[in-house]
Amino acid sequence: MGGAREQAGLRFLETSPQAMQQLREWLQQNSSEVEPEDPPIYCQLTDLSLGGCYLEIASPFPLSTRIALSTRAAGVEVRAQGVVRVMHPDKGMGVEFKLSTPEHRVAFEKFLAVLTENRGLLPELLVQPEGLERDSTVATLAAGNVEDPLLELFHGEPLSVEDFQAALRQQRAVPILPAERALAGAAGTD
């Protein structure tokens, strides 16, 4: 057999982002048939937890799309792999992280702390598709004994865009303390 029939394929099951980048660079240098990658896409982060995030994006990726996510705020940068678990056309997508090491979790905890301390800060966020996930399970360090309301929303019953956004707003709601309620009531009577 000759020509195009002399081909082989490889599938890497668990590859670090650094190894994937090295492989892409090698392929670009050594193969004339490699198509250029889609550039990363800017989107807006609306919700973030240790287990996932919700991104506003005009053209969200299909369910089960593996993505590479890079976000930066106040000098702290975090890179993560994830899988699209919720997709709302023309609105956004929910991404469940693949936090493969304790170092990833520590980096996300630090990033969450930066965002919590700087409420008005909007992080820079880039996403890039990497293919479709075959296995529907994701190994997350946030899962297990730790409750994650955002992930519960991703894995719960499918919701309309409006109901999903209402559930997100409800998760964000901060209860008013009795002392604050009394001050608000006193301010309103003047």
**Kind and range of the H or E element at 68?**
strand 65-73
Q: How many Cβ atoms from other residues are within 10 Å of residue 152's Cβ?
A: 13
Residue 12 has pLDDT above 80, yes or no: no
pLDDT in tens, 23-67: 777 877 777 665 556 677 888 888 888 888 999 999 999 999 999
Determine the pLDDT at residue 114: 86
pLDDT in tens, 154-183: 898 888 889 998 988 888 775 544 443 333
Residue 102 has pLDDT above 60, yes or no: yes
Determine the pLDDT at residue 182: 39
Taken in order of first residue, the domains within the chain and their CATH numbers are 41-172 (2.40.10.220)
User: Taking residues 75-85, what's their average pLDDT?
Assistant: 89
pTM for this predicted structure: 0.66
DSSP string, 95-163: EEEE--SHHHHHHHHHHHHHHHH-TTPPPEEEEEEEEE-SSS----SSSSSS--HHHHHHHSS---HHH
CA distance linking residue 49 with residue 97, whole number of Å: 9
Determine the pLDDT at residue 33: 62
β-strand partners of 86: 94
Where residue 187 falls among pLDDT bands split at 50, 70, 90? very low
Mean model confidence pLDDT for the chain: 77
β-strand partners of 68: 81, 128
pLDDT in tens, 110-138: 888 888 888 778 888 889 888 887 765 54
* Residue type at 45 in one-letter notation: L
Q: Say whether 165 sits in a helix, a strand or coil.
A: helix
